[in-house]
Amino acid sequence: MEEVIFALSSPPPPASLAMIRLDGDAAAAHLQSLVEESDRDPLPILEARIPRMLQLRWDEVAPPTPALAVLWRRGASWTGNEGVEVVLPGATPIIDGVLARLERAGARPATPGEFTRRAFVNGRIDLSSAESVAALIEAEDQAAIVAARRVLDGELAQGIRSVASSLLDVLAITEAGLDFSEQEVESPGTTGARRLLQPILLEIDQLLERRQSTEVASGLPRILLWGLPNAGKSSLLNALVQQQLAIVDSAPGTTTDAVRGVLEGSGRSLEILDLPGERWASGQIEALALERARVLIGGDDPVLWVIDASRDVIDIERERSQLPSELKHRFRPVLCQCDRTSKVPDDYLTEAYRVSSMTGEGIEMLRQELLNWGIRTPGQQRSDALRFTARQWHLVTGCRDLLAAAIDEADAGPELLVEDLKGALRRLEEVTGESTPEHVLDRIFSRFCLGK
């Protein structure tokens, strides 16, 4: 039996009206134990989905309070359990009295997110929809509300399941080729695997493009400048915003805290944060600044990876290998200080922007690219935008990175391909909750408010 829980599901009193939710087996019986019964009126019987006026006892001496109750039978409620929703006057003494009497009747107060967790456990919603309840509560504008609502309605889960189904098909074919090679079951091979996986990668990219970006405190989209000390980040910031905002010096480590600039053009604005270069801290204040920079990098803002073009390719590759794999999808490289003697050949990092803050080479083109890249807020511009949580975003981009690696390394053999595909599939299953560890579920639902 599912024990009965209760919670106030409306803003705290005082208010004109308030709503209390009960959920669990015998929820109606627990509520009816509070109903005032006179000699003339028999105890009212609640019928499913039919509103019923009741008189509830909330105090030993005060008269009962009127209330409107609706019963939801098991299987028909949002959680899948028997449930009752009660609307009553929102005076603090009345609410406190009713809640206290429910607890004395054997029900218990719900923990944060417990109603939503029950809906997830009972298979009424998947984990992505459950998380969107919190996102809906936290939505800062109409676009965010609409994007969160689409996830609640299951659009993200549908996209994830479509990708997962296609991945599972490729995984099954590849594993069958390994397990039954002597029985003439052929593996798709390198070319075949790439041909099968490319459409799946495209489908993930299309899903990620539907992301509704959250805005920062300034109300502007944001891009981060990140790289090693003395890579040219501060000079680049000054050149982009055409102001001397950041101190520029040949000594590494001049920037000890984030420097903010605003890039404007074509009627649009974009916030740029110049982060301190990654290094060992020389003091407590610098350590705090570096930790704050790492937190920003670990978020979901786009990142411009600033590289000194006068460095050797071997050094750049070493730095590239140390980039967290789950973040690479958000990074775009820019080769700075190209007015110096560049050691980077033209056929290396072809996707990188090449600029010189000193001569202005490539700055205007980069400025326009950044405005086009960072200004994109799908929740305002796309009619099909989805509001990802940070957890969902990192899992889906992690899946995308593993799939891209599987395509690039398909000629390494089917065994490695199978491992990459299994890792990608596990990340998708964590989004929908099919393989999410219990401690992760605890953390997700603890963010909810009571009554949700």
Taking only the tens place, the pLDDT of each residue in 65-100 is: 999 999 999 999 989 999 999 999 999 999 999 999
Contact 56, 65 (CB under 8 A): yes
- Residue 64's pLDDT band, with cuts at 50, 70 and 90, is very high
Candidate from 138-152, 290-304, 414-428 with smallest mean pLDDT:
138-152
> If we measure between CA atoms, which residue out of 62, 65, 67, 105 comes closest to residue 84?
67
Query: What residues pair up with 268 in beta bridges, in sequence order?
Result: 265
Residue 232 to residue 226: CA distance in whole angstroms: 10
Task: Tell me the C-alpha distance between 86 and 64, whole Å.
Answer: 14
pLDDT tens digits for 210-229? 775 444 444 567 788 888 88
The per-residue pLDDT for 280 is: 44
Q: How far apart are CA 426 and CA 164, in angstroms?
A: 9
CATH of domain 222-365: 3.40.50.300
The pLDDT score that the predictor gives to residue 262 is: 85
Residues 6+ apart with CB under 8 A from 119: 78, 79, 80, 125, 130
- pLDDT tens digits, 301-326: 778 888 888 888 898 888 888 876 65
Q: What is the pLDDT of residue 279?
A: 45
- Within 10 angstroms of residue 197's Cβ, the number of other Cβ atoms is 23
Superfamily holding 130-212+385-446: tRNA modification GTPase MnmE domain 2 (1.20.120.430)
12-16, 149-153, 222-226, 372-376: range with lowest mean pLDDT: 372-376
| Superfamily classification of domain 5-110 | Probable tRNA modification gtpase trme; domain 1 (3.30.1360.120)
Q: Give the pLDDT of residue 187.
A: 63
**Whole-number Cα distances in Å, 439 to 5, 118, 435, 443:** 22, 16, 12, 6
Higher pLDDT, 81 or 280: 81
d(CA 212, CA 214): 6
* Token couple for 137: 């509560």
> How much is the pLDDT for 22?
95
pLDDT digits (tens, 9 = 90+) for 402-445: 999 888 888 878 888 889 999 999 999 888 888 766 766 776 67
Q: Rounded to an integer, what distance in angstroms lies between the CA atom of residue 130 and that of residue 133?
A: 6
If phi > 0 it is left, if psi is from -120 to 50 it is alpha, else beta; for residue 360 that is left
> Is residue 40 scored above 50 in pLDDT?
no
pLDDT band, residue 251 (cuts 50/70/90): very low
Report whether pLDDT(292) > 70: no
Strand partners, 280: none
Cis bond before residue 14 (omega within 30° of 0): yes
Residue 371 has pLDDT above 70, yes or no: yes
pLDDT in the model for residue 357: 84
Q: How far apart are CA 19 and CA 25, in angstroms?
A: 20
* 448 within 8 A of 113, measured Cβ to Cβ: yes
Q: Are 33 and 59 in contact (CB under 8 A)?
A: no
- Residue 369 is predicted with a pLDDT of 84
Q: What is the mean pLDDT of the chain?
A: 80
Predicted pLDDT of residue 66: 95
pLDDT at 233 over 80: yes
| Amino acid 132: pLDDT | 79
Q: What is the C-alpha to C-alpha distance for residues 208 and 446, in angstroms, rounded to an integer?
A: 26
- Ranking 38-42, 47-51, 218-222, 287-291 by mean pLDDT, the lowest is 38-42
Closest by CA to 23, choosing from 70, 57, 66, is 70
Tell me which of 263 and 250 has the higher pLDDT. 263
pLDDT confidence of 277, banded at 50, 70, 90? low
Query: Which of these, 43, 54, 47, lies nearest to 71 by C-alpha position?
Result: 47
Q: What pLDDT, on a 0 to 100 scale, did the predictor assign at position 27?
A: 93
Q: Please give the pLDDT value at position 68.
A: 95
Task: Give the confidence band of 349 by pLDDT, cuts at 50, 70, 90.
Answer: confident
- Mean of the pLDDT values across residues 4-31? 93
Across 22-31, 340-349, 368-377, 404-413, which has the greatest mean pLDDT? 22-31
Torsion of CA 253, 258, 261, 266, to 10 degrees: 100
**pLDDT at 180 (0 to 100):** 52
* Backbone torsions φ then ψ of 285, nearest 5 degrees: -65, -45
130-212+385-446 against 222-365: fold identical: no
Which of the two residues, 191 and 257, has the higher pLDDT score? 191
Task: Indicate whether 254 pLDDT > 60.
Answer: no
Domain ranges of the chain: 5-110, 130-212+385-446, 222-365
Rounded to two decimals, the pTM is 0.55
Looking up tokens 């070493």 gives: 318
| Mean pLDDT value across residues 40-57 | 79
Chain position carrying tokens 């290998």:
321
What does the radius of gyration of the chain's CA atoms come to, in whole angstroms?
Answer: 28
pLDDT on residue 218: 45
- Asked if 374 and 220 count as a contact pair (C-beta separation under 8 A), the reply is no
